[in-house]
Structure 1
Amino acid sequence: MDSELNRSQTVVPFGVGAIYDYLNYTAISLSVDDWDILANSNSFHALKINNPRLQCFVNKKLKDLQKNEYVWVQYFLNPPIKKELGMPRELNDIFYPMPVKKFPEYYVCTRCGHLSKPHPTSNEKARCNNPSTPDWLNSSCGQIQKHKKPFLEPSRFIGFCEDGHIQDVPWKEIMKLSCANNGCCEMDKEQPDLYLRDDGNGLGFASLNLTCGKCKARKNLTGLNKENGFTDKNGNKLFSCKGKKPWLSDDDDECSKELKIEPRGASRIYTPIQETGLFIPDPNLISHPIEKEQAFENARDLYDGSNDDFLIQLIELQLLVLAEKMEPVLTETQIFDLIKKHFESKNSINDQQIDIDSEQDDFYFKEFNVLTSDLKDEEYESITKDFSSFNNFTKKYLSSLHAINKLKATTVLLGFERAQGKFNCAQSTSNFLPAFEISGEGIFLNVGYEKVKNWLDQNSGFLDREKTLLNRAKEDFREHPALYSETGFIMLHSLSHALLRQLSLECGYGINELKERIYFSHKNKMAGILIYTSSSDSSGSLGGLVRMSRPEYFNGMFENAVNNSMNCSNDPICSESIGQGLAGLSFAACHSCLMIPDLACDVIPKNTYLDRSTLIGLESNLKGYFV
């Protein structure tokens, strides 16, 4: 079956392992190992994304997450999407069906409540054809005219475990608890005669009843989502995870973990692990034009460090002809050395011990250095604004301002987790990951590390809040970087949200078309905010955001953003809050003052680690940065 999602959606939030409600069915996105694109070299080449710096960092992060199990990632690919009728033939290489699989398998009739499994590959909306008449109806769904038969809806609940396995709720095993004669013969069928009904009292699982159509036994589902909610007389749990991985073609795993039951849309069921990186010019990454050629990439992929003779033959047959047409002209030995350099770079990551927090810090620092410089390239252009033209308020609280006329940002899906469990990579054997790229514009505010550091040194009272956030983060099922709890980061993040809300009113872009990126580090002494357009089409480069970096626009916008954060329509409840939002990970921040649409927020979980008091000081012992 094919996905109906657009490109960016098939990376996040509905990438590999995620469940999405399509128009006619519900399905899970399959691993990149199952993409048909692998058989089409033209499509593979047309959909590639070039970001070597991000590729290097992603490989380091995968090695940190998977240790010796990880597979080297050589490419990022735009996900293929379904081609529509009437599209030009020349677009065949970039429009390609991406596979999904119906999940959950069990569907429920909207009329009689019958549980059944519709055809797994049909694109039509399934209808109930149950020939039996339950006690609460006068006729069966099978007797109704074909075009009037009631629709089937996917089961609201699924089972999963912390290792990432996911499956249907074991309806047959549950029903066996109450069926006559220690298990009705109906329970041995592939599609038993089962009914799932809600009594309409709105009491959650206590309102749900599972009924056997054969022996008429009924089982109330109270406690189904509780730990050890369904046990035998000795207190042993009656069912555990079966190790199913419907997003993969692999065999099921052996698993005895506790099976958790949740609504299929629950946030705990799917947490994407993603990375975003700006494309920044680096002449050291591509040392010769031949490295961009498909033939060179093929030779690089085939070289394993021991097949030197084979590689030399490949160079003589394919690459020397290409090299003769390029400047500077390369010899056979020089081409061999280039391929060997790539192989050694790959092995160096395999062999080294990785401190991923330090690597991430350095990854951001390279971007910070480019963003604060004047640079012009085909893919990137930034200009430092003359600060003498800005008012005293701007010069007091910022160190510099930069107009980013052109930029490219790549977002790649590494994999996912279920609850706070095992990392599951988006690929098992393939050497690429799904990604999407956006081109746009932006403005970069270099707040200045020394300015922030001086403010922090004079306001040690924020340390108590840092400790509170760290403790709350440990209680959440997600993993939270320690950096997020630091007051300096929270201040920059809060300022960024205030700016995004104000810019959406003044720059011509909607807030859903803007995105933030926070740069804060004690190690590399950086403190800055990048706000850029996040639209993947031409509307992301209309110039409205860069225009806001002019003094006549920026001065007023910047002051308005700060002043508007002083008041909230929910004050004093908001300003005096000791914890609100997801897991209580924000203080003075709500939907009336600092929270923004999830698409615009770069911090995961979204709209967390926000506090207006870091900006304007809402308590007597806490002095905000702008006070």
Structure 2
Amino acid sequence: MTPPKPPRRRRGGAPMPPRARKLGAVRRSQLVTTYGVGSMIAIDNESFIVAGLDSWDISEAPEVFERRLAQILGVGSFRLPPAPDADRGTDGVRVRRFPDFYTCPKCHALQSFSRFNSPVGSAACLECIEDLVPSRFVVACEYGHIDDFPFWKWVHRNVDRESGFCGGGLSLHTNGSTASLRSIEIHCSCGVSAVSMEGAFRSKALRDLGIRCEGKRPWLRNSAKEECDQQPRAMQRGSSSAWHPIMHSALSIPPWGEGLHALIEKHKLIAAPEDSIRWYFQSRPTLLANLDATVEDVISLVKAIQEADGGAGENETPATKAHTTLRQEEYKRLVKGNPERFTAEWQQFVCEKPTGDPALVREFGIDCSMLVKRLREVRALSSFVRGEAPTEADSDRRLARLSSADLDWLPAMEVSGEGVFLQLDATRLSKWESDHAVIARSDWVRANHNALLRERGASPKSGSAKHPESHVTPRLLLLHTLAHTLINEWSLDGGYPASSLRERLYVDDDMSGLLIYTATSDSAGSLGGVVAQGEPEQLSRTIRSALARTEWCSNDPLCMEAEASGAGSVNMAACHACVLLPETSCETQNSFLDRAMLVGDQAGTVRGFFSLAP
């Protein structure tokens, strides 16, 4: 990743093309999940912000195909983040210096980076020959804008100045007396009293100084300031609240990603006319050999796809239709199964029934288990937010743009793995979730979630309290907590770290299933053995052990008796000692969890799903 630099000049005054400086390297997956567009990254003693997509060089970046997800996000395709190539001189992803304020640990000067006159290719104070330190503090608003902390206004907050600056120089001193912000003081050579950073993170601190958001988006090239009515707040540069990615994912299930559908998508034949398709395969006669298909089969399938895309109603675009049916399609395919027919190149999803006796797990209220022996997941970055974590109540205005202009692609990563799918018994589930005590406990979480959505969704100008209704149900709490419990158990039994396992929930009136899989970009997901956990004999032992472990938490009785826990108070009996997971493994950031839904509460008021008689 490299920052843009001003052009050098040849002799005679002609500008030379800029030569990018390579700063470091990150994994491709991190440019989607951790260091995506708009996030800050520290490299040595410098700090940068990852530039927008229109600054990326994607000429060598491979395409990622997932038609169902592309329809939802309204793009033509996805791209793997580009990788730097030293031989070709390409730099892939660019970054820009941010924050602009640095300080020298020797002379304590606090000023813009350019005023230090650092040698080319380094960040050092030219006078002290000391490495500079980037500012720890930035300000950001709920609409994604970000800027340097207003140090001058902060230190002169008690001084009555009508306009302009005092002309003095700022400096930053740390006395080390405490570990709090009180020990960090800002001085100005104009003679005003030094001011500590204590209180800078209060919600009203910047508003009381008259500081408003200036609408800056330093990650976008040549981007003008936006009008913004949000109040900025101070943040630590490395704080997790400074960047929350908005991720979308989909499994590659039939028909897409398999056989002729995979070939048509990979070779971009969906919109091709018939003559072009014939010419294409005439120059590639062996392309259809492994699929036992003809050119006429391809033409017929392309026509069917074109008719399906053109058959959407006026109020139901293909994107809307795909969005409402994404999980339903996956759920139906997981229940139905998909035996192996092609090689891994032309079949990315294989799902089969186990060979053992299913009665061993039906006594626990599990209707069936399916062994997902091969799966592919595509995860795409569509936007990001700053400040509070994203919720269903967020407006489109809060979602920050990834590029100045509209592009027909988004960065994405594809991961392969295996997993186990479980479907609960519908009759037993219906009986359990109609229990009044279970409903009352679920309604408590639902009320807390509605309060959170109301708070996040209120308009700052009109005071409107419109917000989406909470989706919390007993079924969601049950399936989500069961997924966490099984992941924890498999991390102990199977040797997998919990962070290498992920959950995928299928919950609504017609769905009651969960998928636990090892789709990860590193080697931990390729160890094998997760599929073996889905065999009825092994699965029954796992469930019995997991339920025994879930009945008691080392924080009980406080954990089980808690009326609310977790961020936003949307958990009940759930803590780090029992069912919480690394957030990379959880779809909902460790929200909507309650052990009592599995095993009941200690008072016997609420009956857990697994305490019911078969």
TMscore range, shorter length: 0.7 to 0.9
CA contact (8 A) 1:484 1:490 kept: no
Deviation readout 1:460-505 (Å, 9 max, x if unpaired): 3324323333234326659998565222111111111110011011
Quick one: which amino acid aligns to residue 381 of structure 1? Answer: V
Match of 2:357 among 385, 388, 396: 388
CA contact (8 A) 1:177 1:183 kept: no
Normalised to the residue count of structure 2, the TM-score between the two structures is 0.79
Task: Determine the C-alpha separation between the residues in 2 that align with 1:625 and 1:19.
Answer: 45
Question: Does 1:165 find its partner at 2:145?
Answer: yes
Task: Determine the C-alpha separation between the residues in 2 that align with 1:121 and 1:321.
Answer: 60
Deviation at 1:338, TM superposition (A): 5.0
Q: 1:256 to 1:199 in 2, by over 3 A?
A: farther
Question: Does 1:461 find its partner at 2:456?
Answer: no
2:494 maps to 507
2:111 maps to 116
Question: Does 1:24 find its partner at 2:39?
Answer: no
Task: Determine the C-alpha separation between the residues in 1 that align with 2:151 and 2:188.
Answer: 10
Larger fraction in helix: 1
1:621 maps to 605
Task: Determine the C-alpha separation between the residues in 2 that align with 1:13 and 1:109.
Answer: 29
- Map 1:131-210 onto structure 2 (within 5 A): 142=127, 144=128, 146=129, 149=130, 151-175=131-155, 177=157, 187=167, 193-200=169-176, 202=178, 207-210=183-186
Deviation readout 1:525-575 (Å, 9 max, x if unpaired): 111111100322555233311111223422211110111100111111111
Task: Determine the C-alpha separation between the residues in 2 that align with 1:198 and 1:553.
Answer: 58
Q: Counterpart of 1:485 in 2: which secondary structure? A: coil
CA contact (8 A) 1:184 1:215 kept: no
CA contact (8 A) 1:295 1:319 kept: no
Match of 2:124 among 106, 127, 143: 127
Q: Counterpart of 2:113 in 1: which secondary structure? A: coil
Task: Determine the C-alpha separation between the residues in 2 that align with 1:222 and 1:515.
Answer: 40
- Map 1:431-450 onto structure 2 (within 5 A): 431-450=408-427
CA contact (8 A) 2:65 2:266 kept: no
Q: 1:116 to 1:442 in 2, by over 3 A?
A: same
1:564 maps to 549
Q: 1:283 to 1:252 in 2, by over 3 A?
A: closer
Q: 1:294 to 1:371 in 2, by over 3 A?
A: closer
Identity of aligned residues (%): 25
Quick one: which amino acid aligns to residue 253 of structure 2? Answer: I
Quick one: which amino acid aligns to residue 315 of structure 2? Answer: Q
Query: Is 18-27 or 118-127 further displaced after alignment?
Result: 118-127
Question: Does 1:485 find its partner at 2:478?
Answer: no
2:227 maps to 255
1:135 maps to none
Quick one: which amino acid aligns to residue 52 of structure 1? Answer: R
2:592 maps to 609
Unpaired segments ≥5 residues, structure 2: 3-22, 388-393, 459-466
Query: Is 23-32 or 364-373 further displaced after alignment?
Result: 23-32
Question: Does 1:526 find its partner at 2:511?
Answer: yes
Task: Determine the C-alpha separation between the residues in 2 that align with 1:128 and 1:171.
Answer: 20
Quick one: which amino acid aligns to residue 608 of structure 1? Answer: S
Deviation readout 1:105-143 (Å, 9 max, x if unpaired): 1122334432133369989662334xxxxxxxxxxxx3x
Query: Is 177-186 or 575-584 further displaced after alignment?
Result: 177-186
Q: 1:125 to 1:597 in 2, by over 3 A?
A: farther
Task: Determine the C-alpha separation between the residues in 1 that align with 2:36 and 2:216.
Answer: 18
CA contact (8 A) 2:66 2:257 kept: no
Q: Counterpart of 2:125 in 1: which secondary structure? A: coil
Deviation at 1:316, TM superposition (A): 10
Deviation at 1:32, TM superposition (A): 1.4
Quick one: which amino acid aligns to residue 327 of structure 2? Answer: Y
Match of 1:272 among 230, 242, 245: 245
CA contact (8 A) 1:472 1:584 kept: no
Q: Counterpart of 2:398 in 1: which secondary structure? A: coil
2:17 maps to none
CA contact (8 A) 1:394 1:558 kept: no
Normalised to the residue count of structure 1, the TM-score between the two structures is 0.78
Q: 1:383 to 1:204 in 2, by over 3 A?
A: same
Q: When the two structures are aligned, how many residues end up with a matched partner?
A: 556
CA contact (8 A) 1:106 1:155 kept: yes
Task: Determine the C-alpha separation between the residues in 1 that align with 2:119 and 2:352.
Answer: 54
Unpaired segments ≥5 residues, structure 1: 60-72, 130-141, 301-310
Task: Determine the C-alpha separation between the residues in 2 that align with 1:331 and 1:512.
Answer: 43
2:520 maps to 535
CA contact (8 A) 1:601 1:607 kept: yes
Quick one: which amino acid aligns to residue 410 of structure 2? Answer: L
CA contact (8 A) 2:281 2:295 kept: no
Give the alignment's Cα RMSD to 1 decimal: 3.9
CA contact (8 A) 2:378 2:413 kept: yes
CA contact (8 A) 1:461 1:621 kept: no
Task: Determine the C-alpha separation between the residues in 2 that align with 1:499 and 1:152.
Answer: 48
Deviation at 1:288, TM superposition (A): 6.7
Match of 2:71 among 56, 64, 82: 56
Task: Determine the C-alpha separation between the residues in 2 that align with 1:585 and 1:261.
Answer: 26
